[in-house]
């Protein structure tokens, strides 16, 4: 939905007094409610998101690295995969991920559905195969029934699995942050310091990349524009997908929604705090050396982007049967 259309809709709903409200002037937009979802598919996808049997070890689920109690991340520099393997890159949040231009830091998955199948078969993550994952689900009568009810056909296939996980992930949005309330006209929703931080955020150029409802996720940018970014991490970024040298160290701009919860920061997880992240990004991307006060004001603004976290009931997973392939946690 375009901004002008959103303004007209909100006016019609009585949420805005006029088109001259705060919203009409800002690069950041409020998060809109989820539309056009299949509730039965969402419930199935929720089970799959939490089911560790989709991993070789039987202990790793989607929620292991994208913990919905921790801002949709694991708060580790890099995630832990099968047999305690160290992941190659920081785990991005799953919250509001439906708003991303593409998935993964390097954009190798076009959408949530394409992303959902990757970790299951990645030997460094869940380390199963798509075929065995389907065999696991097909061995459990309750899953067989639920898949048939949702998709209207059988047998189960990996396309249905990734469809369902993606449908659930579309619901993982975090609306009604204090900053959204300010955007919608509640001038008391943020403090003077937080507003000063937002003004610095805009005037410094941060909003050139961090904009829209997700406050990011809409483009790829080189890490280290003014100064070189030095890291031991070997991730090449977008160039690994395009093969273009010009795309080396270009990464998808991360969302800043709920950023106070999604530490550590950057693709390599090297920035442990928001204060450090703001300092590094100011110098490397913008050529700005923020004072201690300016840094604190920007950090204060960023914390106003924390929205309502997904409220859900943990699914009760159907039990395995004698035919269910057994986990192999030590292989």
Catalytic residue annotation: 125
Element (H, E) at 4: helix 3-12
Q: Facing residues of 80 across strands?
A: 86
CB 149 within 8 A of CB 40: yes
CB 179 within 8 A of CB 304: yes
Nearest by Cα to 174 from 81, 231, 267, 257: 257
CA distance readout (Å), 68 to 65, 229, 288, 308 = 9, 30, 34, 12
For residue 27, the tally of other CB atoms under 10 A from its CB is 14
Please give the radius of gyration of the chain, using alpha carbons only, rounded to the nearest integer: 21
* Token pair 């997973």 in the structure block, residue: 317
The per-residue DSSP string of 32-89 comes to PPP-S--HHHHHHHHHHHH-GGGSSSSS--HHHHSBTTTTTB--SSS-B-GGGPBPSS
């Amino acid at each position: 939905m375009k901004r002008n259309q959103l303004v007209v809709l909100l006016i019609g709903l009585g949420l805005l007094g006029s088109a001259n409200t705060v919203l009409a002037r800002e690069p950041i937009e409020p998060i809109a409610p989820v539309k056009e979802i299949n509730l039965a598919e969402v419930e199935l996808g929720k089970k799959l998101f939490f089911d560790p049997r989709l991993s070789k070890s039987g202990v790793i689920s989607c929620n292991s690295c994208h913990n919905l109690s921790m801002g949709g991340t694991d708060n580790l520099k890099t995630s832990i995969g099968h047999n305690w393997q160290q992941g190659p890159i920081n785990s991005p949040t799953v919250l509001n991920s439906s708003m991303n231009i593409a998935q993964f830091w390097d954009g190798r998955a076009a959408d949530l559905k394409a992303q959902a199948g990757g970790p299951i078969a990645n030997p460094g993550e869940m380390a199963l195969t798509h075929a065995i994952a389907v065999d696991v689900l097909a061995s459990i009568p309750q899953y067989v029934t639920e898949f048939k009810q949702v998709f209207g056909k059988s047998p189960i296939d990996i396309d249905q699995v990734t469809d369902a996980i993606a449908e659930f992930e579309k619901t993982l949005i975090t609306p009604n942050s204090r900053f959204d309330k300010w955007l919608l006209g509640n001038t008391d929703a943020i403090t003077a310091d937080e507003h000063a931080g937002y003004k610095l955020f805009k005037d410094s150029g941060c909003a050139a990349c961090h904009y829209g409802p997700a406050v990011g996720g809409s483009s790829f940018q080189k890490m280290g524009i003014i100064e070189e970014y030095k890291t031991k991490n070997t991730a090449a970024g977008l160039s690994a997908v395009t093969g273009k040298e010009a795309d080396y160290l270009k990464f998808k701009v991360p969302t800043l929604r709920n950023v106070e919860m999604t530490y550590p920061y950057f693709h390599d997880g090297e920035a442990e705090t928001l204060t450090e992240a703001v300092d590094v990004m100011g110098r490397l991307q913008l050529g700005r050396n923020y004072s201690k006060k300016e840094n604190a004001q920007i950090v204060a603004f960023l914390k106003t982007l924390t929205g309502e976290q997904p409220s859900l009931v943990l699914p009760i997973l159907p039990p395995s049967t004698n035919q269910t392939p057994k986990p192999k946690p030590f292989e």
